[in-house]
Structures are given as structure tokens and as C-alpha cells.
């Protein structure tokens, strides 16, 4: 038995078969909780250690930066001597395409330079609107332009002569691409499209094709392509795989067709099977679930759509609890108390759980608002899956644009945003900003001059302190003269200045620490190059609010940071069902199990099927304990007060219904309440009809009828004058009797 076999002897036969398989193309149907990441890690180490394939000759593609980081982290834990250079081919589809364009592919032939930047998702829409206005194009449904640009582009590429709505959209595409080249920036889709085009051209020209260079940047065409969560791929990513794959390249992809929940991003529920047929892949399976208890797994199988039944290896465990709450507020109060009880429990079976072992899952992000308020009030530490982005913090949004333009002065769109911002900087008009940028009038704007000279100022390598090197946050604050540009007379100057300094400190640390080994590509990178890479990476993965927050010791006394104070046990996770994918927790509360919420009301069979898969993902996040709850008064518009039909699909022997009456009792009680409400309404109407009106007299309006009165006012209705109000203190109205 080899050292590798000893180290991984805990793998089951299905996992071993997948790790050792060397088919030209293999797709693994990995059921939920089957150890997918473990198999991917073992596969990579097997190829690297046993088959002597350099990591630089592998492309390991994931769909989230978190997943890429987890795989890289496990590899480094096994082989601590691994360097970042060896893992350059590990990342999301877009980040790997970005590195290829920056380091290996002739991007200049496509019209961009090596210093291009990646556009923010909304930038392309704003740029398109500017082009429409400047060229007098007639494009319909501008409020949906972002979606239209993406959806109709394939028809434009296919040679269609006009758009779906017979407007100027197809005339916009070439103008938009030209402007993106002029401003030297790409969208996410451009990263893949341009990479595909250059890879295909390289194959056709047979330039370096098939040659595995041993250079520091690795080979263009990898020996192995390994794909995680392949079911989430779209057609463009599938084309990228095909373009990246050479005749001798082997493909190993892992995914679960039962977890396709991103159709709104272009993913189809058949991508797993399309890949299998497109590449003639051998299909294998990982059918054994190690995560969930038997009861949870049996319930999940009722919602499984593809593949054979999931095999479990754990005992049945505790039943699934179903609770009924009157409304979301009552539920939030219960959750806070129950979570606190679990945290303080003495460790009895099914009792104790650390905060970090608990998740509250919901269908809509709006459901988190009441949870946040109650958890804050009751001092329950929590982490929200959707944090504020820098775009929601005006000073940091503006500062990022300053950095973006500083490392890409061709980006006129961003430069105009910086100079015309209403709160910070020069506050120019658009026309004046365009004149300054297009005529390079450095003397007209100190901020523009400093941005334009940024790359020259810090041109030295990061290890060369005498020629620029890596500044600190305060140095950058002074360089851009932010003490002036943030306008010190503004009421929020101190707050904005603090946020800016802390953010710039984070940027400097990310771009300068740790210092790479001497002689590597990373060590030769200048500080502006590192900032450009930071900006591109942030555009791909997003910059969260914590990039600009105070350190814990700085913010501990602020009310806004209260929920960030946590013990070593972590925080309760509050997240949507979509955000929970790929995670696991000891105890899961899945709330809002009402018709119209879980599942949402669907317009098509495909949507209904995706809602079912989404619920499958949610309940399989739980390892040991699962609690489902629904509302009598849901508060959300369009949501029924009845519990979800999904609860009826789960075998009743797996469920414990707490504080919930039987179906017959609930129906009878609702009918009784409805009758009672109707009777009260009829009685009130009868009393109103029988009520004798009180007659009143006014010296100007004559006789009328009393409508209402309180301690200060009296309201009466007079024939020919309508309703009038009077102050009682003036005694203008007198009663003349209770009969007509």
C-alpha cells in the first residue's frame, strides 16, 4: 500500500473509483453530502503526487471564490510548501479566463491591452445608455437594458438583422464593444468570450498548441481540467471548457443535477447531462450521504428529481419538527429564545448547539429584517449572508472609482464619475469633466493630475521602497489629497475620512503583503499592477462592507457593530435558501413554509421544479436537527395562511407537529371564525341602520345631522352644505333632540 493509499484509505469504493479514474472525460453525479470536495482534493493530489502532473498544468474551475479557496486550502493543508504560483490555474471560470488573458493569450489581437480592467456588472448598462444618448439610438425598454443586452447578444452573433423588438439594439452592440476597447475594460462575459475566441484561434494556427511549456506561467492548454459544481454552468462556460480542452486534455467534472437552482443566471437544469454528451463523458456516482441523519435524508429523497435513491450511513436521529407561529414577529421572538436556550443548554441530547452551528434559512431576503431587529434586541450574534457592498457606502464607492481610473486612465466613464460626483472631489459638470479628460488638462484639476500620475509615482516593484514600493493607507490618503477632496466642512467628513483611511490600509495590505519570492512574476509586479489586480478581483468577487469597516477593537463601542461581537462559538447564520448552497449546520430552522412562499407562486413547470430543488437544497443543509415553521398570518403579500404542500409530501412518521392542530380542527376553527366575523359585521350594520340620528342646528347652515364628535370637535352634515367641523368650545352647534 502506497503512502497515498494509506492517507486516503477512509474513502469509500465509489470515491476511490472516482479518484483513480483516468478516462478522457468523466462526469461524477455526486449526491448531496457525499464528500465531493474531499474527492476533488484527493483527485488533484493523486494526479500531482502519484502521476507527477504539475499543478501548473491543471485548470481547476469552480463557480464561487469560496469554493476555490476551500479546495486550495485543503491542498495547502496537505502540502504546506505549495506556492501561489502553482495554484494560478485554480479559481472561478472568470478568474481563470482573466489570468489567461493577462498572462498567456494575445489579448492585444482582440483589441485590448494587458492592463485592461474588469467592469462592474452595472457599468456596461451605464456605458450603453451613454452611447444611446450620444448617438441618438432608439432602444426600447431601457429599464430592462441590462437583461436585454445579455439575452439578445447570441441572436446578434448568429447574424440576425434586427432585434426582437425591432429597435436599434443590434446597432448598439458594435458601438459598445468599440467603446469598451477604447476604455480598455471588459465585462464578465467578455472575459469568457475573448478567451474562447483566442483559444480557438490559437488552436487553428497551431501556435504553441500541445506544447507543455515548463515556464513560470504554466501551459495554456492544461493536461487536466477539473470542474466543481458543473451543474451550475451555462452555455458560455461550456464553450470555454471546450476551447480550453486540447485533444490530450482530460476532463473530470463533479456535480449534482438535483441542486440546479440558478436558472435566472442562465443555468439550465440539463447542463449536467449536456456536458456528458458533449464530451462523451463516462458517468460515475457518489451515492452515499455522510452529512444528514436518516430522518432528514428520507424526507429529502421525496424531493429528489434525478439519479438513484441517496444512500445514508447514519441513524435515523431525531424527527423533523414542524411549528406554527402566528406571524413573523412571534416567530422571531421564539427563534431568539430557542437559540439562546440551545446555547446555554447543559449538553443534553439534542439540546446544546453553538451559535455557529445554527442557521435560519428563508426564501426571500426581506424575511431577514424582523429577525435582525429581534436578534439585535436580544443580543443574539448573527451573520447575514448579504452584507452591504462598497457601492452602498458613497465615500468608498467613489474612492474605488478613483483607484480604478488611476490604474486605467483610458477608462473615461469612471473618470467622469469621479470628477462629477455631487458629494466628493471636484463636483464638475459632465461637459467640463469630459473636456478635462479628453484634452488631458492636468492643470485644471489637481485630483485628475494625481490620478493620471499615479502609475508613474508608484512605478517601482513592490520590493523596491526607494522607487515607489508599497505605501500605507495614510500615504495614499495624502497623495490623493483626500483631506481636501472629501470636503472637511461636510458634516460627515470625520466618518468618511475614517472609512477612507481604513479602506486604503486594506488595499495596501492586500497589494503588498506577503512580499512574493524574489524573481517571480509576482515580485516584479509594481504597486499599480497589484492595485489593478485587486480591483479586477474585487469586481469578480465583489467587495463587501467589511472591507471598509473598522477593526473589531475600533468598532466595539459602536451600536452598529453590536451584532459583530461574538464569542469563539461564532454567529448564527441568517441566509436565503440560495445562499445556503454548499454549507452545512448542526441545526437548521427553515422558516416561512407557507403556500406562495415555499414554494413561490410559479408561472411555469420549470419554475415549479426549481422551487422543489431549492427546498431540497435547504433541508439537506441540516446534519442532525431540522425545524420547519409556517405562519397563520404570513404578512407577505400573495402568501397563503395555509402551510406548504411540501409538508404534505414528507411522510408523517418523520414529522412531529408541535402547537399545530389537526387538519380537521384547523378547518373547523377557520369556518367558525369566519362565521363569527360575518355575524359581528351583520350585527354592526343592523345597529347602524337602527340608530336614531341626532339632530343639530347651526345659525348659518340650519338644521343637520350629527356625524361624529370627540372632546374637542363636532362634525355635522347639513343639506345643501355637506359635512362641516366645529370646535365645541365656540358653541356654534346645538342639539335639538334625538328624533326626527
Contacts of 508 (CB under 8 A, 6+ apart): 470, 471, 472, 473, 476
Question: What's the rounded mean pLDDT across residues 599-608?
Answer: 88
Q: Is 257 left (phi over 0), alpha (psi -120 to 50) or beta?
A: alpha
Distance CA 444, CA 435 (A): 10
Residue 584's nearest CA partner among 18, 35, 73 is 35
> How many secondary structure helices (H) and strands (E) does the chain include?
29, 22
**Nine cell digits for residue 347:** 449538553
**Nine cell digits for residue 595:** 403556500
Q: Cell 419538527 maps to which residue?
A: 321
Pairing mode, strands 702-709 and 695-698: antiparallel
Q: In what order do the strands lie in the sheet with 25-30?
A: 90-92, 58-62, 224-227, 250-255, 25-30, 282-286
Which residues is 301 bridged to in the sheet? Answer: none
Percent of the chain with pLDDT over 90: 58
Distance CA 252, CA 282 (A): 10
Q: What pTM, to 2 d.p., does this model score?
A: 0.79
Question: What's the rounded mean pLDDT across residues 613-632?
Answer: 95
Distance CA 360, CA 591 (A): 7
Q: What is the pLDDT of residue 709?
A: 86
Residue 111 φ then ψ, to 5°: 110, 0
Contacts of 393 (CB under 8 A, 6+ apart): 499, 545, 548
Q: Looking at the predicted structure, is the pLDDT value of residue 430 above 90?
A: yes
pLDDT band at 348 (very low <50, low <70, confident <90, very high): very low
Q: What is the pLDDT of residue 737?
A: 65
Question: What's the rounded mean pLDDT across residues 35-59?
Answer: 94
Give residue-wise pLDDT tens across range 272-324. 888 889 999 999 999 999 999 999 999 999 998 887 788 988 999 999 999 99
Distance CA 665, CA 673 (A): 12
> What b/e sequence results for 449-480 when a residue is b if at least 16 CB atoms lie within 10 Å of its CB, and e otherwise?
ebbbebbeebebbbeeeeebbbbebeebbebb
Q: Which of 225-234, 347-356, 419-428, 436-445 has the lowest mean pLDDT?
A: 347-356
Q: What is the pLDDT of residue 729?
A: 80
Residue 476's nearest CA partner among 509, 427, 520, 522 is 509
- Kindly report whether the peptide bond that precedes residue 599 is cis, defined as omega within 30 degrees of 0: yes
pLDDT higher at 328 or 689: 328
Q: Looking at the predicted structure, is the pLDDT value of residue 522 above 80?
A: no
Q: What is the pLDDT of residue 83?
A: 87
Q: What is the pLDDT of residue 671?
A: 63
Q: Cell 352644505 maps to which residue?
A: 721
Question: What's the rounded mean pLDDT across residues 404-415?
Answer: 96
Q: CB of 736 within 8 A of CB of 696? A: yes
Q: CB of 627 within 8 A of CB of 588? A: yes
- Cβ-in-10-Å burial (0-12, 13-18, 19+) of 683 comes to exposed
- Neighbouring C-alpha atoms within 13 Å toward the C-beta of 254: 27
| Structure-derived torsion over alpha carbons of residues 376, 379, 383, 384, reported in degrees to the nearest 10 | -20
Q: Looking at the predicted structure, is the pLDDT value of residue 565 above 80?
A: no
Residue 25's nearest CA partner among 341, 276, 332 is 276
**Nine cell digits for residue 531:** 492595485
Q: What is the pLDDT of residue 495?
A: 94
DSSP letters for 355-370: GGGEEEEESSGGGHHH
Q: Looking at the predicted structure, is the pLDDT value of residue 466 above 70?
A: no
Q: Which of 182-186, 533-537, 679-683, 699-703 has the lowest mean pLDDT?
A: 679-683
Contacts of 531 (CB under 8 A, 6+ apart): 403, 406, 407, 507, 511
Amino acid at each position: 500500500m502506497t503512502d497515498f493509499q494509506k492517507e486516503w484509505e477512509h474513502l469509500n469504493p465509489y470515491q476511490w473509483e472516482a479518484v483513480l479514474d483516468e478516462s478522457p472525460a468523466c462526469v461524477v453525479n455526486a449526491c448531496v453530502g457525499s464528500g465531493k470536495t474531499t474527492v476533488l482534493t484527493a483527485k488533484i493530489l493523486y494526479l500531482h503526487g502519484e502521476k507527477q502532473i504539475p499543478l501548473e498544468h491543471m485548470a481547476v474551475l469552480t463557480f464561487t471564490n469560496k469554493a476555490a479557496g476551500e479546495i486550495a486550502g485543503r491542498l495547502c493543508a496537505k502540502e504546506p510548501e505549495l506556492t501561489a504560483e502553482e495554484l494560478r490555474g485554480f479559481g472561478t471560470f472568470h478568474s481563470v479566463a482573466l489570468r489567461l488573458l493577462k498572462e498567456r493569450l494575445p489579448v492585444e489581437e482582440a483589441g485590448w491591452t494587458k492592463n485592461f480592467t474588469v467592469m462592474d456588472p452595472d457599468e456596461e448598462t451605464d456605458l450603453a445608455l451613454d452611447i444611446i444618448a450620444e448617438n441618438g439610438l432608439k432602444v426600447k425598454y431601457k429599464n430592462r437594458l441590462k437583461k436585454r443586452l445579455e439575452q439578445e447578444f447570441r441572436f446578434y452573433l448568429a447574424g440576425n438583422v434586427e432585434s426582437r423588438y425591432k429597435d436599434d439594439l443590434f446597432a448598439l452592440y458594435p458601438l459598445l464593444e468599440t467603446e469598451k476597447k477604447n476604455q480598455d475594460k471588459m465585462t464578465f462575459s467578455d472575459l469568457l468570450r475573448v478567451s474562447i475566441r483566442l483559444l480557438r484561434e490559437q488552436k487553428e494556427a497551431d501556435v504553441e498548441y500541445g506544447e507543455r511549456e515548463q515556464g513560470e506561467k504554466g501551459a495554456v492548454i492544461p493536461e487536466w481540467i477539473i470542474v466543481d459544481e458543473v451543474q451550475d454552468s451555462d452555455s458560455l462556460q461550456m464553450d470555454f471548457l471546450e476551447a480550453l480542452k486540447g485533444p490530450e486534455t482530460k476532463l473530470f467534472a463533479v456535480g449534482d443535477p438535483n441542486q440546479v437552482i440558478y436558472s435566472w443566471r442562465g443555468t439550465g437544469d440539463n447542463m449536467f447531462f449536456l456536458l456528458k454528451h458533449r464530451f462523451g463523458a463516462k458517468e460515475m456516482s457518489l451515492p452515499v450521504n455522510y452529512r444528514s441523519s436518516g430522518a432528514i435524508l428520507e424526507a429529502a429523497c421525496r424531493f429528489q428529481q434525478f439519479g438513484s435513491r441517496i444512500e445514508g450511513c447514519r441513524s435515523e436521529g431525531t424527527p423533523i419538527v414542524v411549528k406554527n407561529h402566528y406571524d413573523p414577529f412571534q416567530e422571531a421572538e421564539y427563534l431568539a429564545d430557542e437559540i439562546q436556550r440551545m446555547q446555554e443548554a447543559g449538553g443534553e441530547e439534542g439540546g446544546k448547539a453553538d451559535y455557529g452551528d445554527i442557521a435560519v434559512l428563508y426564501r426571500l431576503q426581506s424575511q431577514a429584517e424582523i429577525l435582525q431587529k429581534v436578534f439585535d434586541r436580544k443580543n443574539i450574534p448573527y451573520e447575514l449572508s448579504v452584507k452591504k457592498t462598497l457601492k452602498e457606502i458613497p465615500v468608498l464607492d467613489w474612492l474605488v472609482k478613483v483607484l480604478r481610473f488611476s490604474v486605467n486612465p483610458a477608462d473615461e466613464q469612471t473618470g467622469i464619475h469621479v470628477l462629477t460626483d455631487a458629494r466628493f472631489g471636484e463636483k464638475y459638470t459632465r461637459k467640463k469633466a469630459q473636456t478635462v479628460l479628453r484634452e488631458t488638462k492636468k492643470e485644471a484639476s489637481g485630483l485628475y493630475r494625481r490620478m493620471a500620475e499615479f502609475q508613474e509615482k508608484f512605478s517601482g516593484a513592490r520590493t523596491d521602497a526607494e522607487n515607489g514600493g508599497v505605501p500605507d493607507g495614510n500615504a495614499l490618503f495624502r497623495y490623493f489629497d483626500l483631506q481636501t477632496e472629501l470636503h472637511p466642512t461636510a458634516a460627515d467628513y470625520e466618518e468618511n475620512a475614517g472609512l477612507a483611511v481604513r479602506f486604503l490600509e486594506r488595499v495596501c495590505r492586500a497589494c503588498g503583503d506577503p512580499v512574493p519570492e524574489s524573481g517571480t512574476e509576482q515580485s516584479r509586479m509594481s504597486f499599480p499592477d497589484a492595485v489593478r489586480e485587486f480591483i479586477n478581483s474585487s469586481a469578480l468577487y465583489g467587495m463587501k462592507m467589511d472591507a471598509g469597516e473598522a477593526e473589531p477593537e475600533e468598532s466595539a463601542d459602536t451600536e452598529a457593530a453590536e451584532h459583530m461581537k461574538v464569542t469563539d462559538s461564532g454567529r448564527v447564520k441568517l441566509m436565503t435558501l440560495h445562499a445556503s448552497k454548499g454549507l452545512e449546520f448542526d441545526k437548521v430552522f427553515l422558516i416561512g413554509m407557507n403556500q406562495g412562499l415555499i414554494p413561490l407562486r410559479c408561472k411555469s413547470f420549470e419554475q415549479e421544479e426549481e422551487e422543489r430543488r431549492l427546498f431540497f437544497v435547504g433541508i439537506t443543509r441540516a446534519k442532525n436537527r431540522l425545524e420547519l415553521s409556517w405562519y397563520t398570518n404570513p404578512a407577505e403579500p400573495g402568501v397563503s395562511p395555509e402551510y406548504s404542500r411540501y409538508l404534505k409530501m414528507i411522510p408523517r412518521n418523520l414529522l412531529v407537529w408541535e402547537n399545530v392542530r389537526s387538519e380537521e380542527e384547523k378547518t373547523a376553527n377557520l369556518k367558525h371564525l369566519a362565521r363569527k366575523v360575518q355575524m359581528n359585521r351583520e350585527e354592526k350594520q343592523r345597529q347602524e341602520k337602527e340608530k336614531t340620528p341626532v339632530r343639530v342646528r347651526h345659525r348659518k347652515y340650519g338644521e343637520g345631522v350629527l356625524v361624529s364628535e370627540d372632546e374637542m370637535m363636532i362634525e355635522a352634515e347639513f343639506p345643501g352644505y355637506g359635512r362641516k367641523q366645529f370646535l365645541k368650545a365656540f358653541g356654534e352647534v346645538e342639539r335639538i333632540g334625538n328624533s326626527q
